[in-house]
Structure formats: C-alpha cells, structure tokens
C-alpha cells in the first residue's frame, strides 16, 4: 500500500512539474540594436562580452542587421545596465533594446507593472497598455508583451530608471 501511495505521489509531482514548465512558457527574449557593427570579427568581441553575463543564453549576433539577440535563462533577471555595459565594452553603442516577456499586469505603487516571476517591470502608459487594462479578456490573465526598454527617471523609485513601453501583446 505504501509503495502504491509513493508511486501516486511521484506521478502527481511529475505532472505538476510538467504543468509548471508549460505555464512558465518561453524565456524572456532580448534584442539590442547596435551602432558600429560592420564585420564578423568585430562581432566576436561583442559575443565574448555578452556571454560573460550569467543570464544570457542562445546568443546570436546579426551583423547585417546590427543586432544582438538572446534569451534570458529561466529564473534569471534582465539587467539592462549590465547588458549596456557589455555592449559598450565590446566596442559598440547600444541603441534600442526590445524585450519579450510573459507575465501578469498589476497596479503597484500607482503605476502599472508587468510581473514576471519575482521581477517587476514598470510599464509606460500608452494606447496599447490602455487596451490591455480595459480588455476583459486580459483581466487577471497571463500576457506576452513585446516592448521597448526606455530610461525614465521615476520620482520615488530607486530600484532602476527603466520603463517598458509595450509595442505588442498577446493574451494567453
């Protein structure tokens, strides 16, 4: 009897692990537009710098497009300052940074935030955010957003100076 209970318990744990993995979905994706990227030799130095960031995986340097694309490892955070520093140390100028994240939108501290695991991303108010907030389909649901990371000084917010301006979204 104990053996059967143990097997049932293990089966339930495995099913829950699979469910949690499916629910967590794809890892965050980051795309950084760069100035000065013109050759593959130059790209190699940038690749070395970005790979030193613990949270970076599946890195691709697209020389012709002037882009660095990568995913953030599961359970890790996006450190915008660290990414910008790595790009500069690699000899390039970081321009626009786009991220694709999956989370839940909630009000916190008088601002709308995208909650992704233990991380909070302050959202810049725009028509797309307004559409998400007012959409009954999106209420208390997981959403996948793609947005532009922007530097914005937020009064009374000492954690980081960045906001996410949503450019596109999908309700799960």
| CATH number of the domain that residue 35 is part of | 3.30.70.100
Compute the distance between CA of residue 59 and CA of residue 51 in angstroms, rounded to an integer. 8
CA distances in angstroms from 11 to 17, 18, 63, 159, listed in the order given: 10, 11, 47, 42
Pseudo-torsion of CA 15, 19, 22, 24, nearest 10°? -130
Query: Quick check: is 7 in a domain?
Result: no
Query: What pLDDT score was predicted for residue 40?
Result: 86
Compute the distance between CA of residue 35 and CA of residue 38 in angstroms, rounded to an integer. 9
Domain boundary among 99, 117, 152: 99
Query: What pLDDT score was predicted for residue 9?
Result: 39
Query: What pLDDT score was predicted for residue 11?
Result: 30
Query: What pLDDT score was predicted for residue 78?
Result: 87
Query: What pLDDT score was predicted for residue 172?
Result: 81
Query: Quick check: is 111 in a domain?
Result: yes
In this structure, are 94 and 104 located in the same domain?
no
Query: What pLDDT score was predicted for residue 166?
Result: 94
Q: State the pTM of this model.
A: 0.78
Average pLDDT, the chain: 82
| Low-confidence spans in the chain with pLDDT less than 70 | 1-26, 153-160
Domain boundary among 47, 73, 99: 99
Q: For the chain, give the number of residues.
A: 172
Q: Which residue range forms the structural domain that includes residue 50?
A: 29-99
Q: Is 67 helix (H, G, I), strand (E, B) or coil?
A: strand
Query: What pLDDT score was predicted for residue 96?
Result: 95
Domain boundary among 73, 99, 125: 99
Query: What pLDDT score was predicted for residue 57?
Result: 95
Q: Is 151 helix (H, G, I), strand (E, B) or coil?
A: strand
């Amino acid at each position: 009897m104990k053996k059967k209970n143990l097997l049932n318990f293990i089966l339930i744990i495995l099913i829950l692990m699979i469910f949690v993995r499916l629910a967590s979905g794809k890892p965050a994706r980051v795309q950084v537009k760069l100035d000065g990227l013109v050759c593959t030799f130059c790209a190699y130095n940038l690749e070395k710098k970005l790979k030193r960031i613990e949270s970076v995986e599946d890195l691709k340097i697209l020389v012709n497009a002037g882009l660095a694309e990568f995913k953030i490892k599961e359970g890790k955070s996006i450190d915008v300052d660290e990414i910008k520093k790595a790009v500069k140390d690699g000899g390039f100028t970081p321009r626009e940074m786009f991220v694709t994240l999956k989370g839940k939108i909630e009000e916190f501290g008088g601002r709308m935030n995208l909650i992704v695991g233990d991380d909070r991303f302050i959202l810049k108010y725009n028509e797309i955010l307004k559409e998400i907030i007012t959409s009954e389909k999106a209420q208390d649901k997981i959403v996948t957003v793609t947005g532009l990371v922007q530097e914005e000084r937020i009064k009374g917010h000492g954690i980081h100076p960045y906001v996410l301006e949503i450019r596109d979204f999908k309700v799960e």
